[in-house]
Structure 1
Amino acid sequence: MKSFLVKTLANAAALAVAVWLLKDITLTGDSTDRTVTLIVVALIFGAVNAVVRPVVKLFALPALVLTLGLFTLVINAVMLLLTSWIADQADLAFHVDGFVAALLGALVVSVVSWALSLVLDRD
């Protein structure tokens, strides 16, 4: 349970950094709504990564091998776009505008969540 909470908070913070850095990833609303929206979007992002990502990685295995794993960044971008679409369907104020923004956002989210997981997940 503690690990799930740490990963969710790390994802929420990483998404906040992506929103802050990239103008094509938007989060609207006041500060309280933004915090709740970030946590809900982080939960959606975690669910998408837990359910959809393994299937996509299985089908993309030849591309992953051919690019020595760099295709993972494209898969992460698609997961971020899928998260944005689900957030739009749920009337959440989170939106990723385009594949390039998703690619850059996936890079930011990956690096920030990895760093925060290292810092936060200390026993």
Structure 2
Amino acid sequence: MMRKWILTCLINIVALVVASYIVPGITVNSAVALVGAGLLLGVINLFIRPVVMLLTIPLNVLTLGLFILVINTWMIMLTAAWMPGLGIHGFFAAFLTSLIVSLFNWLIKDLKRKDKNKR
């Protein structure tokens, strides 16, 4: 469990670095802020996101799961609000960042699944 969380945090850090270069509207003051944001995003996704997901089940069903993209965007915005040195200016920048972070996490999980199936 702890190993999986650490891997997720590392993936978040790499995805945030990539997003900071690609997405306009993200300001990063230091590498420490990026590492802290990756760790904080891991904690937020571990504790806060499941509660929000549970509370928004009707919206997720109504939108056929697309509301999860909005929830991921909120988690990125919350991370930026709590992490000094990381600024995400606007919903669109947070949305693009959440797409990049989600894509990175999905790719790593898919690679791990394929590796597990080869054994």
TM-score (norm 2): 0.85
**Counterparts in 2 of 1:11 and 1:67: CA distance versus 1, 3 Å:** same
Overall identity of the aligned pairs, in %: 38
| Distance of 2:111 and 2:25 partners within structure 1 | 28
Highest relative contact order (Cα 8 Å, sep 6+), 1 or 2? 1
| Distance of 1:120 and 1:25 partners within structure 2 | 30
Q: 2:71 aligns with which of 60, 69, 75?
A: 75
Contact 1:13 1:113 in 2 (8 A): no
Contact 1:17 1:109 in 2 (8 A): no
Cα drift, residue 48 of structure 1: 0.7
Q: 1:112 aligns with which of 100, 104, 110?
A: 104
Task: Summarize the alignment of residues 11-30 of structure 1 with structure 2, pairs less than 5 Å apart.
Answer: 11-29=12-30
Residue equivalent to 2:93: 101
| Distance of 2:27 and 2:109 partners within structure 1 | 24
- 1:52 corresponds to 2:48: yes
Counterpart residue type for residue 10 of structure 1: I
Aligned residues: 114
Runs of 4+ in 1 over 3 A off after TM superposition: 116-123
Q: 1:85 aligns with which of 59, 73, 81?
A: 81
Runs of 5+ consecutive residues of structure 1 not aligned to the other structure: none
| Distance of 2:46 and 2:3 partners within structure 1 | 17
Cα drift, residue 5 of structure 1: 2.2
**Secondary structure at the residue paired with 2:65?**
coil
Counterpart residue type for residue 13 of structure 1: V
Cα drift, residue 70 of structure 1: 0.6
Cα drift, residue 117 of structure 1: 4.2
TM-score (norm 1): 0.83
| Distance of 1:42 and 1:85 partners within structure 2 | 13
- 1:39 corresponds to 2:31: no
